């Protein structure tokens, strides 16, 4: 029975907790980087409940360390009774030195922004997918909206054709 549980866990290595869908509309993403994140116990509980928001979150640097700010982890009621839960605190992102220096170089030289694309479980760890982005021009946004509408209508047409 123990071997069967391990097989099930291997199939569920990657589960998305939350995804920031508006990123793909607003920015053009050039590269994606996976980072670990330091969380407290009550934040893990709120992740399991799904009460997390990363829409207004961003990444900043301080003393060659990377931090996430603006991600809102709303605390569970029982944990909020016993100790202070700061739902919008700075959370440290875990990257190696090469990745940190690469991100600092992109921000300083290329004028890129670093945004949070998604948070997900990788086995038993929480990972954050960061994107190195630049703002889209107005005509790029129009083109991506047209492309999105076409994909949506194409899926609808294919669904209609399956019925007959």
Question: What is the pLDDT at residue 5?
Answer: 42
Fold of 13-136: Small Protein B; Chain: A; (2.40.280)
The first and second tokens of residue 57, run together, are: 């979150």
Give the C-alpha separation, 35 to 51, whole Å. 21
Question: What is the pLDDT at residue 2?
Answer: 39
Q: Residue 134's beta-bridge partner residues?
A: 28
Contact 129/16 with Cβ under 8 angstroms? Answer: no
Give the C-alpha separation, 43 to 73, whole Å. 6
Q: How many CA atoms lie less than 13 Å away from 23 in the CB half-sphere?
A: 23
Q: Name the pTM for this structure.
A: 0.74
Give every residue of the chain whose pLDDT is below 70, as ranges: 1-12, 77-83, 85, 138-140, 163-164
Question: What is the pLDDT at residue 24?
Answer: 78
Question: What is the pLDDT at residue 129?
Answer: 93
Residue percentage of the chain with pLDDT more than 70: 85
Question: What is the pLDDT at residue 36?
Answer: 93
Structure confidence by residue, pLDDT tens digits, 139-150: 667 777 788 888
Question: What is the pLDDT at residue 80?
Answer: 55
Give the C-alpha separation, 54 to 52, whole Å. 7
Q: How many CB atoms lie within 10 A of CB 69?
A: 13
Question: What is the pLDDT at residue 11?
Answer: 53
Question: What is the pLDDT at residue 164?
Answer: 57
């Amino acid at each position: 029975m123990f071997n069967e549980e391990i097989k099930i866990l291997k199939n569920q290595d990657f589960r998305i907790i939350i995804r920031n869908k508006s990123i793909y509309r607003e920015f053009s993403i050039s590269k994606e980087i996976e980072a670990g994140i330091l969380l407290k116990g009550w934040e893990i509980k709120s992740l399991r409940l799904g009460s997390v928001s990363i829409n207004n979150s961003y990444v900043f640097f301080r003393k060659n360390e990377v931090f996430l700010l603006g991600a809102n982890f709303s605390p569970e009621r029982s944990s909020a009774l016993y100790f202070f839960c700061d739902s919008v605190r700075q959370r440290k992102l875990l990257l190696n030195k090469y990745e940190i220096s690469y991100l600092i170089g992109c921000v300083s030289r290329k004028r890129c922004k670093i945004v949070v694309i998604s948070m997900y479980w990788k086995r038993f760890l929480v990972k954050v997918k960061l994107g190195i982005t630049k703002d889209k021009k107005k005509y790029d946004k129009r083109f991506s909206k047209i492309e999105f509408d076409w994909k949506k209508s194409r899926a609808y047409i294919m669904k209609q054709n399956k019925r007959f």
